[in-house]
């Protein structure tokens, strides 16, 4: 899994090949000048021996060389950092774009069954974390490796035995680092999971703030939150602490290298194989050699957390998309809808709709009734292609809707749901919903749906900003607004899911008139409780526990004295 994730991160970065290799080039220049400046400083000191024994011409040559390298190092390190930032910001921009596009391709079954807080956390926190890790990661990793190689070359130039001692102990440092990182990887994953659980919890409690307030549920909400908060503190402590052991541990290994170099150097010096000065240089290089290891291991912690985040983002990106079968376009429809032997259930182990066949001719009004939880909304989910049937076909003008592009199908349906959603946008944009119509059309749609009265009472009329969370609109006003959305484009098939449940009867009656006009020549599916509104329906489908128990016209069903009759009676108790 991690190998796959890493490979994908690398291939993502390779898309910015040019910038990436340019950045590596600058890193190289930066590292080399960084290694040469101390060497030159040492040479400069050699020109300054004692009183009256200073070679100023030699010194100036060296000093101007140092100045040149300093400028080179300044430019290259700046450009390197700029390029690295650019790459990683681009990567995160791309990942955000990709995951947002993914959202619109995920099937409803995924979104219905996954907490939105978790998905949100992947797109926002994890993508950010991934890019942060990358910024620190790649540039430091590369300069670190370059410094190590450069120092090794210098060391071999000094004395091969000392260089070998340093080289042989190196793997130990790497071994320690990878040992710790393997163990902390799991802790980081637990931490990321706890973090996402926490985001979910906060999201929920903020959204359900009314309930918390009304039931004085603060203490309970706090208890739920505190438990998760405690878990997160513990897991983040564990992950942070154990990954931060890496640095001291490798530094310890490096100190051992230093001690061994001192020992070998001293023994070689006693035997006269090297000079004391050479040993001093070797020691300072050995010291310098160990520093990048510290940096690299320091980066590893960031890196690990970035990899875990990358894994979570890739997992989202890899989710199965809504099947794209059905590329056919359909721009208009007669509105003839049939269900042909359709079976469907959310949970495949529990049967829901079984072998359902039915035909609504163009312009007919089909009412779906049944007790709460009987599966009325399921029919709508299938019609709108939010879910696809497990078996059988749904036909629109004789064409299997699965052979037609989803969006194209949906555009033919006008849907008003019981739970209306209000966008973070103006009233006007909430009615337009991305379609292009004139202001006059918008006003007309609002008038027809009787939404204009309350809209004009809002502080800025049609330009008032709304949001789903804000409480400035009542449920009924929300429904009027969503009816106005439909009035605007008049699609050939209407789906009204308890469309008027929160609207008072007076307004409803007015809307019914508009609806009646709207429904003329349009096939309409309506879910309603108020049986009075569906008495004129061409067909009434009576559902109970997910299956169709009766079907027919109002009078026929009453005569049957079956389940519909019972429902109808209870309305007037």
Task: Report 100-129 residues binding other proteins (CB under 8 A).
Answer: 100-101, 103-105, 108, 111-113, 115-117, 119-121, 123-125, 128
Residue 523 near residue 335 (C-beta atoms within 8 A) = yes
**What phi and psi, each to the nearest 5 degrees, are found at residue 29?**
-60, -45
- Least separation in angstroms between residue 78's CB and other proteins is 4
Is 216 a binding residue for other proteins by CB under 8 A? The answer is: yes
- d(CA 500, CA 526) in angstroms, rounded, equals 10
Cα–Cα distances (Å) from 91 to 27, 65, 135, in that order, read 20, 38, 10
Is 477 a binding residue for other proteins by CB under 8 A? The answer is: yes
- Least separation in angstroms between residue 299's CB and other proteins is 10
Residue 427 near residue 445 (C-beta atoms within 8 A) = no
Is 229 a binding residue for other proteins by CB under 8 A? The answer is: yes
Of the residues 325, 433, 490, 516, which one makes contact with other proteins according to CB under 8 A = 433
3-class secondary structure, 130: helix
Residue 324 near residue 379 (C-beta atoms within 8 A) = no
- Least separation in angstroms between residue 545's CB and other proteins is 10
Of the residues 187, 485, 548, 564, which one makes contact with other proteins according to CB under 8 A = 485
* 529-558 binders of other proteins (CB under 8 A): 529-532, 535
Query: In the chain, what is the greatest distance between 2 CA atoms, to the nearest angstrom?
Result: 125
Of the residues 156, 454, 538, 565, which one makes contact with other proteins according to CB under 8 A = 454
* 40-79 binders of other proteins (CB under 8 A): 41, 44-45, 47-54, 56, 59, 63, 66-67, 69-71, 73-75, 77-78
- Least separation in angstroms between residue 178's CB and other proteins is 18
- d(CA 128, CA 346) in angstroms, rounded, equals 34
* 298-357 binders of other proteins (CB under 8 A): none
Cβ neighbours of 429 (radius 10 Å): 16
Whose Cβ is closer to other proteins: residue 323's or residue 424's? 424
What would the DSSP string read from start to end of 23-87?
Answer: HHHHHHHHHHHHHHHHHHHHHHHHHEEETTEE-HHHHHHHHHHHHHHHHHHHHHHHHHHHHHHHH
Burial level of 3, CB count in 10 A (0-12/13-18/19+)?
exposed
Whose Cβ is closer to other proteins: residue 1's or residue 113's? 113
Of the residues 434, 438, 440, 520, which one makes contact with other proteins according to CB under 8 A = 434
Residue 148 near residue 290 (C-beta atoms within 8 A) = no
Of the residues 181, 482, 526, 539, which one makes contact with other proteins according to CB under 8 A = 482
Cα–Cα distances (Å) from 565 to 82, 426, 529, in that order, read 75, 45, 14
- d(CA 77, CA 262) in angstroms, rounded, equals 33
Is 504 a binding residue for other proteins by CB under 8 A? The answer is: yes
* 239-278 binders of other proteins (CB under 8 A): 240-241, 244-245, 247-249, 251-252, 255-256, 258-260, 262-263, 266-267, 269-270, 276
Applying CB under 8 A, the site for other proteins has a residue count of 180
Whose Cβ is closer to other proteins: residue 198's or residue 343's? 198
Residues 174-213: x where in contact with other proteins by CB under 8 A, - otherwise, as a string: ---------------------x--xxxxxxxxxxxxxxxx
Of the residues 15, 439, 468, 559, which one makes contact with other proteins according to CB under 8 A = 468
């Amino acid at each position: 899994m991690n190998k796959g994730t890493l490979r994908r991160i690398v291939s993502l970065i390779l898309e910015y090949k040019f910038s990436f290799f340019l950045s590596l080039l600058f890193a190289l220049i930066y590292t080399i000048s960084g290694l040469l400046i101390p060497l030159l400083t040492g040479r400069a000191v050699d020109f300054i021996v004692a009183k009256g024994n200073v070679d100023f011409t030699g010194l100036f040559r060296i000093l101007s060389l140092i100045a040149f390298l300093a400028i080179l190092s300044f430019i290259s390190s700046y450009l390197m950092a700029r390029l690295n930032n650019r790459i990683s910001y681009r990567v995160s921009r791309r990942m955000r774009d990709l995951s947002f596009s993914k959202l619109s391709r995920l099937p409803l079954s995924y979104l219905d069954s996954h907490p939105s807080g978790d998905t949100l956390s992947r797109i926002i926190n994890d993508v950010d974390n991934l890019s942060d890790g990358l910024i620190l990661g790649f540039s430091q990793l590369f300069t670190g490796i370059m410094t190590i190689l450069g120092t090794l070359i210098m060391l071999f130039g000094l004395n091969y035995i000392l260089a070998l001692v340093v080289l042989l102990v190196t793997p130990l440092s790497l071994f320690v680092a990878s040992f710790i990182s393997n163990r902390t990887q799991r802790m980081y994953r637990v931490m990321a999971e706890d973090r996402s659980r926490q985001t979910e919890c906060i999201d929920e409690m903020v959204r359900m703030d009314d309930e918390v307030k009304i039931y004085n549920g603060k203490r309970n909400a706090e208890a739920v939150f505190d438990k998760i908060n405690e878990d997160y503190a513990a897991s983040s402590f564990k992950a942070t602490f154990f990954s931060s052991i890496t640095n001291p541990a490798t530094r310890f290994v490096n100190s051992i290298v230093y001690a061994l170099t001192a020992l070998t150097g001293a023994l070689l010096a006693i035997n006269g194989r090297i000079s004391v000065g050479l040993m001093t240089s070797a020691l300072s290089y050995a010291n310098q050699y160990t520093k990048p290891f510290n940096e690299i291991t320091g980066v590893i912690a960031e890196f690990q957390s970035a990899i875990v985040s990358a894994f979570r983002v890739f997992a989202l990106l890899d989710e199965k998309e809504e099947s794209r079968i059905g590329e056919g376009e359909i721009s208009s429809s007669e509105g003839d809808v049939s269900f042909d032997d359709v079976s469907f259930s959310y949970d495949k182990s529990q049967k829901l709709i079984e072998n359902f066949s039915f035909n609504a001719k163009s312009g007919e009004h089909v009412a779906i009734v049944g007790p709460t939880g009987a599966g009325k909304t399921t029919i709508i989910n299938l019609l709108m292609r939010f879910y696809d049937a497990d078996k059988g076909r749904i036909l629109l003008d004789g064409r299997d809707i699965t052979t037609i592009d989803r969006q194209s199908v949906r555009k033919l349906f006008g849907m008003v749901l019981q739970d209306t959603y209000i966008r973070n946008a103006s009233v006007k944009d909430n009615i337009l919903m991305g379609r292009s119509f004139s202001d006059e059309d918008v006003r007309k749609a609002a008038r027809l749906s009787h939404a204009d009265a309350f809209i004009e009472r809002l502080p800025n009329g049609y330009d008032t900003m709304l949001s789903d969370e804000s409480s400035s609109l009542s449920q009924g006003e929300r429904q009027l607004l969503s009816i106005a959305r439909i009035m605007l484009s008049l699609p050939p098939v209407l789906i009204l899911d308890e469309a008027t449940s929160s609207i008072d009867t007076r307004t409803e009656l007015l809307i019914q008139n508009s609806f009646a006009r709207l429904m003329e020549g349009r096939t309409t599916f309506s879910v309603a409780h108020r049986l009075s509104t569906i008495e004129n329906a061409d067909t009434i489908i009576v559902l109970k526990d997910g299956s169709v128990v009766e079907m027919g016209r109002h009078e026929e069903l009453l005569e049957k004295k079956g389940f519909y009759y019972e429902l109808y009676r209870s309305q007037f108790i």
